[in-house]
Amino acid sequence: MTAGRIETDERTLVVQNASYRWAYFLLAYGLLASIAWRAFARNEASWDLFALVIGSGVVTTAFQGRGQVLGRRWAMLSAAALVAALVLAAMIALSRR
């Protein structure tokens, strides 16, 4: 009996998932940088790009929630990020008056 060539294994999946993670970071932070540039340098609204960033996070969270892989640590980090974002948004809004 001859074994066929194995195309994918656990290592392949780990490397692929890591590449998807880096690609997502590049797109998300690239869009956020573009939004910041348009808002501060050109005084334009970029809600369409911001909706893409938020939408991708919602899709990821919904998919992981459905798979029941979100834990207590995720909830605490999300709450902390939300509070930090609200404080930063309030500071920016007050400074632009």
For the stretch 10-66, pLDDT in tens is 888 888 899 999 999 999 999 999 999 998 899 998 888 889 888 988 998 899 889
Report the amino acid identity of residue 84: A
pLDDT of residue 75 exceeding 80, the answer is yes
Measured CA to CA in angstroms, residue 83 lies from 14, 56, 57 at distances of: 32, 20, 17
Vertex 95: Cα angle to 92 and 87 (nearest 5): 35
CA 8, 10, 15, 18 dihedral sign is positive
| pLDDT at 19 (0 to 100) | 93
pTM greater than 0.75 (yes/no): no
**Closest CA relative to residue 55, chosen from 28, 35, 16:** 28
Measured CA to CA in angstroms, residue 6 lies from 16, 19, 20, 50, 95 at distances of: 16, 21, 22, 42, 59
| Average pLDDT along the chain | 88
